[in-house]
Amino acid sequence: MRFAVSMLLAVAVLALTATAVTAAEETQNGVITAVNLESSFIKMTDKQGQNEKQYKVALLCKVYLDGKLSNLESLVEGYFAEVTLNRQGSLATIRASRTEPQLD
């Protein structure tokens, strides 16, 4: 009986933790305006070319280009990107495209 209660409690804690991590992530969409490999950051604007922001790239950031696993070196100014920020505000994921994504 104790084992069942312990397992139930562990599952509840894991579920709450997963929800907290998901809620902490933030996604931004826009156009890449600069990539700095030495400092590991990118700059982006919104799709209208306004509101430029600079983002630090996390050490374990996953980079995708046109749906395939890639690297920061493959990104250039003008690519469209969807980025996900981690809880520290650094980029955890970059999904870039050479062409503007088509919305359904």
pLDDT single digits (tens) 12-42 = 544 444 434 444 589 999 999 999 999 999 9
Q: Which domains does the chain have, with CATH numbers?
A: 27-97 (2.40.50.320)
Centroid of chain to Cα 31: 14
Q: 38-88: per-residue pLDDT in tens?
A: 999 999 999 889 999 999 999 999 999 999 999 999 999 999 999 999 999
pTM exceeds 0.75, yes or no: no
Find residue 93's DSSP bridge partners.
62, 84
Q: Is the pLDDT of residue 11 over 70?
A: no
- What number of H helices and E strands is found in the chain? 1, 6
